[in-house]
Amino acid sequence: MAKVRAHLGREDPGTVTARLLGDPRARPNVRWAARLLARPTRDVRAILAECASFADTDRIIRERQIEGGRSSYAQFRAPLELYTFVRILRPDHVVETGVSSGVSSAHILLALKRNKEGVLHSIDRPILQRGPELGARETPVALPPGRRSGWAVPEELRTGWDLRIGPSEELLPRLVRQLPSIGLFLHDSRHTPVHLAFELATVAPRLTPGAIVLADNTAWTGRAFPRFARQIGARIIRRGKSDLVGLRVPVPASLSGGVANPAS
Ligand SMILES: C[S@@+](CC[C@H](N)C(=O)[O-])C[C@H]1O[C@@H](n2cnc3c(N)ncnc32)[C@H](O)[C@@H]1O
């Protein structure tokens, strides 16, 4: 028993959190996060050590998922990296499309709360589950009966959350016009080449130098992400062998003390 306890004590905090969330895919990829941030891995590990402080939140998310009939939490597989990006970049505005139960949103909100600054703007056009049980041919991102977008996000994180319900085709351009800057953008909504290209083109004018842009499920979105990366002169950084990809918006040499884009 003492041996087990000693082993658990040594366990990486991100691994513990992934277990609390009920999905090993959420184990953070430290190297991926460090490369995107252009920071040493020790900086990422230092932030990941904070995971223990929100273990109760992850427990609540997991309980709500199970109550809602979802055995596996994960729609977005890198919630802890999201937390790390927000803690290190300290963005004034984060934008995400695609909320579903709100795993990604909750981890962004946790980081903003700890930063004591910054706002999350989320857009979701929910898909509704048809009956009391999720049908075999239905998507697990559908809302269980009686739930709304972000249904697993604990109440104490919701203050100040700008959650907009509707298609991003309509709501994203309007939102972007209202924002002075975007320091982090996550695409996790409609995974088609046309839609991803539209979202990237819409947010592009507001992205700050050094902002991180993420897109999940790029196996379904053709050349949209590579094209955007080429247009802005950024390098794509893939999370392991998955199709979750990211890039860091280039920082002009004049803003980076003469060293442009240390990540690339
Ligand atoms: C993969 S889930 C998002 C998962 C979420 N990021 C998480 O961490 O659990 C995709 C969500 O995008 C929504 N969606 C699909 N098409 C959309 C669109 N055109 N505009 C906004 N939301 C959309 C879906 O209904 C669903 O709620």
HEC secondary structure over 83-149: HHHHHHHCCCEEEEECCCCCHHHHHHHHHHHHHCCCEEEEEECCCECCCCCCCCCCCCCCECCCCCC
pLDDT band at 25, cuts 50/70/90? confident
CATH number of this structure's domain 2-128+139-255, picked from the four choices 3.40.50.150, 3.40.50.720, 3.90.550.10, 3.20.20.70: 3.40.50.150
| 188 CA → ligand 1 middle, Å | 6
Residue 78 has pLDDT above 60, yes or no: yes
Predicted pLDDT at 10: 66
Predicted pLDDT at 73: 63
pLDDT band at 1, cuts 50/70/90? very low
Query: Using CA atoms, how far apart are residues 200 and 183, in angstroms rounded to an integer?
Result: 13
| 102 CA → ligand 1 middle, Å | 10
Residue whose CA is at the smallest distance from ligand 1 atom 26: 100
| Residue-wise pLDDT tens digits, 120-159 | 999 999 999 898 888 888 888 899 999 999 999 999 999 9
Residue 192 has pLDDT above 70, yes or no: yes
- Residue 57 beta carbon below 6 angstroms from any ligand 1 atom: no
Predicted pLDDT at 136: 86
Predicted pLDDT at 245: 98
155 burial via Cβ count (<10 Å: 0-12, 13-18, 19+): exposed
| 13 CA → ligand 1 middle, Å | 28
Q: What ranges do the domains of the chain cover?
A: 2-128+139-255
Residues forming a β-bridge with 7: none
Predicted pLDDT at 134: 86
Residue 9 has pLDDT above 80, yes or no: no
Distance of CA 137 to the CA centre of its chain: 26
Q: How many percent of the chain have pLDDT more than 90?
A: 77
Residues 118, 92 contacting (CB under 8 angstroms):
yes
Residue whose CA is at the smallest distance from ligand 1 atom 25: 126
Q: How many percent of the chain have pLDDT more than 70?
A: 92
Report which ligand 1 atom has the smallest distance to the Cα of 149: 27
Residue 233 DSSP label: T
pLDDT band at 83, cuts 50/70/90? very high
Nearest Cα to 242, choosing from 15, 27, 84, 41?
A: 27
| 189 CA → ligand 1 middle, Å | 4
Mean pLDDT of 88-100: 98
- Residue 127 beta carbon below 6 angstroms from any ligand 1 atom: yes
- Residue 165 beta carbon below 6 angstroms from any ligand 1 atom: no
Q: Give the CA distances from residue 253 to residues 147, 258, 261, in Å, rounded to whole numbers and listed in that order.
A: 48, 5, 8
Of residues 253 and 196, the one with the higher pLDDT is: 196
Predicted pLDDT at 74: 57
Query: Using CA atoms, how far apart are residues 194 and 181, in angstroms rounded to an integer?
Result: 24
Distance, first Cα to last Cα, the chain = 47
- Residue 217 beta carbon below 6 angstroms from any ligand 1 atom: no
- Residue 202 beta carbon below 6 angstroms from any ligand 1 atom: no
Residue 262 has pLDDT above 80, yes or no: no
Tell me which of 70, 73, 125, 198 to substitute to probe ligand 1's pocket, judged by most ligand atoms within 8 Å of the beta carbon.
125
Residue 87 has pLDDT above 60, yes or no: yes
The CB density around residue 210, as the number of other CB atoms within 10 Å, is 18
Predicted pLDDT at 66: 92
Q: Which residue stretches of the chain are H helix?
A: 2-10, 13-21, 30-37, 41-48, 55-67, 79-89, 103-115, 168-178, 193-203, 224-232
Report which ligand 1 atom has the smallest distance to the Cα of 76: 8
